[in-house]
Structure 1
Amino acid sequence: MKRIRKLATVLAVGVTALAFSTQTASASINIPSTTVRNGASGDCVIERSTSSAGITNNACGYGGTYFRIISTAPDAGGHAYVQIQTTQDDPSGPGYCLYAVGPDTGPSGASAGSSDVELIPCSWNDPRALWAVSRAGATINGYTPETFFTFGGRVCLDGGFGTLYAYREEGCNGGNSWQVWNVYTG
């Protein structure tokens, strides 16, 4: 009887250890209302309408400049996967996400393959609206520098050319301040 109890205990511990060892570490991100400020210009991402996004002229903190950043998939490869969603503070209300429109739709002068970035109704299944977020430096005064990359278009969020767009993958660089976005995390 003692031997059976001991065997059952060993099996229970082994199964529990196996279950925990096969799970991947994952952090859930849910920043309910934050500004997304460009590292080079200080301009913020803004919702212009239910289908249009852009950047402000260094004006942040009013309706249209608040976004919710929320996990959409398990972390992988050192990245968290998020959507950048409109909030109740935005003119259209919640439910719209930043997405990369597609190659060669970026602003005049941008590299071939660059993409316009606009808003689309949020869908967990649209890879153009799922962004891999990586930390690009230390948090200072509550602001964390981040980079955003979407595998749906293989582009990264960029604030150059005086507009919001996505630069093609080959030019994505966490050291490029036009591609770094300061997110208030408190």
Structure 2
Amino acid sequence: LERIYMHTNTSIGVLKKNRNLSKGEMKAILDLQKNRDIVIKPADKGNSTVILDRDQYIYEAKRQLAVSDHYRALEEPIYTETIDEVREILEEMCSKKIINGAQKEYLIGDGPPRPRRFYLLPKIHKEPKNWSIPFQIPPGRPIVSDCNSETYYIAEYLEHFLNPLSIRHPSYLKDTYDFIF
């Protein structure tokens, strides 16, 4: 679980390019980033950054992962099995001329797939009295990152074709403002 919780949204490269921070401010950010006792995450809603004690963050993650209606423990990752299945399907599609060779190579990806990563975005907009531990630990919105998985490029490819169709549907709403007006 430790590796899962090391995710941050700030990289040192971004900080070096950001010229509006003093050296002291940059050092403070880097020190926070290296602090293994805390987790820094964007809030689920709004434009806030949340700093949690690592133990609190892990408590909330374990609380959610213990809900057997939504999650079950695996003996080992399944992506190692599905890599071959995905490649076989893409090979078959290419041999049937549904996709061409270049499309197949793109859909396979350019490197070894990585496992999905589970993390949480703290829901600090919720009433603190209703938090996982009231006034101490906010609930988290669970996210399972699919980036660079064995099906990532397939999903991206499908979205390219489906998104223009979905916005033509009569029930499509762009955002809250579209709903209101």
TM over 0.5: no
TM-score by length of 2: 0.26
TM-score by length of 1: 0.26
More strand by share: 1
